[in-house]
Amino acid sequence: MTEILLIRTGQTQQESINWLIYSPLEQEIIASGGLPNAEQLGELVEKAQSREVVVLLPCDQVQLKTVILPTKWNRKLEQALPYMLEEEIACDVDDLFIAIAEPTMVGDKHAIKVAMTDREWFETWLAVFAEHEIEVFKLLPDALLLPTAEHEGLSVIELNNQWLCKQGAWRISAVEQSWLAEYLTALGHPNVAHYSPASQFPETVNLMAHTDAYDLPLALFAKQLPEIKFNLRQGQYQLKKQSTLWWAYWQSAAIAASVALVGSVAVKSIELYQLNSELEVAKTQVVERYQTAFPGKTVRPHLIKNQIQGELAKLEGGSSASFLDLTNALVGVFSQVQEFTPETLRYDQRRNELRVRARGKDFQTFGKVKAILEQRGLTVDQGSLNNDGDFVVGEIKLRGAA
C-alpha cells in the first residue's frame, strides 16, 4: 500500500498550507510541515513522487447538501440537478461545480448527496497544482474526514485557529472561536466529541474528549481516508493520466510478476522441448516396430495408425475378442498407469491370447493394470513377478470374455 501525501490548502493562495506524509501500512506519520503560501508548493514536488496525493480544501469553501428527489436517482435527474438547486443557492448555478456523492434515503423519499463549490476557485487550485507538476489523486473538504459522532453529535478538531466540525455523515462547517457559542446554540447544544483540547467551549456543552486520538489534524484525517469514498475530482475534472501513480502502486508487484512470467515461460519452453524430443523418439520406435512386425511394407509415418489397423485386421481370426481388440484395451491402460511399460507382445491366434511382458514401478502397478483390464471385460492371468533393480518385471495374459 503506497504512502499518502496530504496537502491542506487555504482559502487563497496567500494563506499557509499544511502537509503530512502518512503510511497506511505502518499506520504512522513519516513527515509533516507547513508552507507559508502556495508559491512554495514546489518544495513538495519530490515528496509527491510515488505517493498518493490527497488535497484537502477548506470546508467553508465547499457546501455539502442532501437533495430530495421525486424518484430514484438516474441519469435524467443528474442532468436536471442544477435546475433543482437554483432556488436554494444565492449565485448563478453555472458558476458552481456540483459533485455527486452516493444516493441515499430521507425517510421514505429518495435523495442524492452533493458537494458544491465555486467553479473558478476550484479550477484555480487545480491549475496551481498542475503548474507545480503535482498530480492530485483525490480532493476532499477537510472536515468531511472527521470521525462521525454517535447520535447526531458533533465531531470537532482545531486547525489554524478554526474549529472544523462534522455533524452526521454529510454536514460540515468551519467555526471561528469568537462565534462558537452561537453556533452550538443554533445546533441545539449537541454532544461534542473533540479531537483537540477544547477549553474554550461553553460550560453548558457536554464535551467528550477523545484524548487517545489527540494528534495532528492531518494525521487524524489520513486515518479516516479509507472511510470516505467520495472524491471532488470527478466529471470534467476527473484525473485522466494516472500512469505515474499506477506505476508507483504496482512497481514492485509488476517486477515480481515479470520475473515469474519469464521464469515460467523458460520452464515451459524446456518442458515443451523435452516433450517434443520424447515424441520424436516414440515415433521412431513405432516405425521400427512396424517394420519388424511387417517386413517389406512401406512406412508412411503420418498414416502409421491406419497402416497398423489395416495389417491387424488381416490377422483377425473371427473371435469376439481379436488381437486388435486386446491391443486396444491394453493401449488404453498406458494413459492411466504411466509407470507400466510393455517390453514384448506375443499373440496366440489359436487361443486368442495376448501375452505381455512388461516393466512396472512396483508390484502394485501390475495389480492396478490387472484391475483395469478386468473392468473392461477381459480375462487376465498374471504370471510371476520379479524385482529387477528399481523395477518389477512380469508377464500378464489377456483373453477376451468367454
pLDDT tens, 88-100?
Answer: 888 899 999 999 9
Partners of residue 158 on adjacent β-strands: 163
Q: In this model, does residue 58 exceed pLDDT 90?
A: yes
81 and 227 fall within a common domain: yes
Report the range of poorest mean pLDDT among 104-113, 220-229, 298-307, 373-382: 298-307
Q: In this model, does residue 303 exceed pLDDT 70?
A: no
For cell 462565534, what's the residue? Answer: 179
Report the pLDDT value the prediction gives residue 389, as an integer from 0 to 100.
79
Element (H, E) at 75: helix 75-85
The number of angstroms, rounded, from the C-alpha of 225 to the middle of its chain's C-alpha atoms is 20
Report the pLDDT value the prediction gives residue 347, as an integer from 0 to 100.
79
Query: pTM, whole model, 2 decimals?
Result: 0.62
Report the pLDDT value the prediction gives residue 176, as an integer from 0 to 100.
94
Rounded to 5°, the CA angle 31-37-40 comes to: 65
62 and 185 fall within a common domain: yes
Q: Which residues contact 245 (CB under 8 A, 6 or more apart)?
A: 52, 135, 137
> In 198-301, which residue ranges form alpha helices assigned H by DSSP?
217-224, 243-293
Helix (H, G, I), strand (E, B) or coil at 125: helix
Domain boundary (214, 237, 260) is at 237
190 and 255 fall within a common domain: no
Q: What is the CATH number of the domain that holds 376?
A: 3.30.1360.100
233 and 349 fall within a common domain: no
Contact status, residue 177 vs residue 164, Cβ threshold 8 Å = no
**Ramachandran angles phi, psi of 89, nearest 5°:** -120, 155
270 and 146 fall within a common domain: no
Report the range of poorest mean pLDDT among 47-61, 85-99, 325-339, 344-358: 325-339
Looking at the structure of the chain, the number of domains it has is: 3
Separation in Å, CA 305 to CA 66, 285, 299, 301, 340: 77, 13, 11, 8, 22
Domain boundary (260, 295, 313) is at 313
21 and 127 fall within a common domain: yes
Give the integer Cα–Cα distance in Å for 119 and 109: 30
Domain carrying residue 263: 246-313
For cell 516405425, what's the residue? Answer: 287
pLDDT band (50, 70, 90) for residue 320: very low
Separation in Å, CA 110 to CA 4, 78, 88, 229: 35, 13, 18, 20
39 and 149 fall within a common domain: yes
Q: Which of 84, 143, 144, 87 is nearest to 110 (CA)?
A: 84
pLDDT tens, 224-279?
Answer: 999 999 999 999 999 875 544 445 545 555 666 777 787 777 788 788 888 888 77
Tell me what percent of the residues of the chain surpass a pLDDT of 90: 51
87 and 231 fall within a common domain: yes
264 and 229 fall within a common domain: no
pLDDT tens, 126-175?
Answer: 999 999 999 999 999 999 999 999 988 999 999 999 999 999 999 999 99
Q: In this model, does residue 35 exceed pLDDT 60?
A: yes
Report the pLDDT value the prediction gives residue 376, as an integer from 0 to 100.
81
Q: In this model, does residue 375 exceed pLDDT 60?
A: yes
345 and 211 fall within a common domain: no
Q: What is the CATH number of the domain that holds 73?
A: 3.30.420.380
27 and 121 fall within a common domain: yes
Domain boundary (237, 255, 290) is at 237
Q: Please give the radius of gyration of the chain, using alpha carbons only, rounded to the nearest integer.
A: 40
> How would you classify the pairing of strands 17-23 and 4-8?
antiparallel
Indicate the Cα dihedral angle 171, 180, 210, 230, nearest 10°.
20
pLDDT band (50, 70, 90) for residue 318: very low
> How would you classify the pairing of strands 207-209 and 192-194?
parallel
Give the integer Cα–Cα distance in Å for 220 and 158: 12
125 and 8 fall within a common domain: yes
pLDDT band (50, 70, 90) for residue 288: confident
